[in-house]
Amino acid sequence: MSESTLSKSFSRPPALKDVVELTKPVTWFPPMWAFMCGVVSSGVSIAENWVFLTVGILLTGPIVCGTSQVINDWCDRHVDAINEPDRPIPSGRIPGKWGVWIALLGTAISLTVGAALGPWVFIATCVALFFGWAYSAPPLRLKRSGWWGPAACALSYEGLSWFTGATVMIGGLPGTNIITILLLYSAGAHGIMTLNDFKAVEGDREMGLRSLPVTMGVRNAALFACATMALAQVAVITLLAIQDFRLSAIIVTLFLIVQLGLMVRLLRDPSKFAPWYNATGILLYVFGMLAAALGLGGYI
């Protein structure tokens, strides 16, 4: 890199508020919630491990998730310049190559913090960062696939964050019961990610992104998403009942029954009701995650 190019890359540092906007704080909640589910499922005292708890929340939310958002916006900057020119990078509020430098810095900080929390957290962080780059950046660019893209997001947001929360508290690898439950909720979250694609069906079709609503059709994709979410929860309920976490299983069952009723309305017009379901049915899904975690942790 020439001196002039390097100077241009680092010219006019962006304002802090624009950097924060680039990390999309609204997206931090799902992994932070899953992390807390992992913490609860461990059954370890929170009061005695509040430092690890605090650092873990920062790692899964603003650090790793925030970094993945920066990566996505940097890789999509040319498309955003046409469709969403007011975003921090295409608008010039994040000038030059500051976007990629922020993404690389976030990656380095994520790895450092993950390593400080132990080998298993470091491994989980590495996997999450791999998916963060692979989702948006070529040559993989998993977001082009309606199968691999949602799977990468679901595993990162739900499974790896839950795993991190449990591992931080336990100080080692969680038990198979915890790992099985978090994997089931990750599988179900594929349906959640599919519903998120309903808001951009026409745009995805024009850009050649093969989301499930594009490849399967809107109604079939909605049916698949609902079935994925429901079947995952049925499996969770079954495992909780087998392991004698009866109250937890009952609570998750009640949440699922209400979700099924909401799904009926969603399927009447998936494109119209997908945002509504995200604000109602998905809320019950994540409350079910907490109920399962409370059972695993011995709280109920």
Locate the domains of the chain by residue range: 15-173, 175-300
**CA angle (95, 98, 103) in 5-degree steps:** 140
Instruction: Give buried/exposed letters for 190-201 (b at 16+ CB in 10 A, else e).
Output: bbbbbbbbbebb
- What sign does the CA torsion over 211, 143, 131, 291 have? negative
- For 216, residues 6+ apart whose C-beta sits below 8 A from its C-beta are 146, 224
Largest Cα span, the chain: 66
- Reading the block at residue 245, the tokens are 């976490």
Question: What is the pLDDT tens value at each position of the chain, 300 positions in all?
Answer: 444 444 444 567 899 999 999 999 999 999 999 999 999 999 999 888 899 999 999 999 999 999 999 999 999 998 888 878 999 999 999 999 999 999 999 999 999 999 999 999 999 999 999 999 999 999 999 999 999 999 999 999 999 999 999 999 999 999 999 999 999 999 999 999 999 888 777 767 776 778 898 899 999 999 999 999 999 999 999 999 999 999 999 999 999 999 999 999 999 999 899 999 999 999 999 999 999 999 999 999
Whole-structure pTM value: 0.92
Q: For the domain covering 15-173, report its CATH number.
A: 1.10.357.140
Bond prior to 30 in cis (omega within 30° of 0): no
- What sign does the CA torsion over 44, 48, 49, 53 have? positive
DSSP, collapsed to helix, strand or coil, labels residue 201 as helix
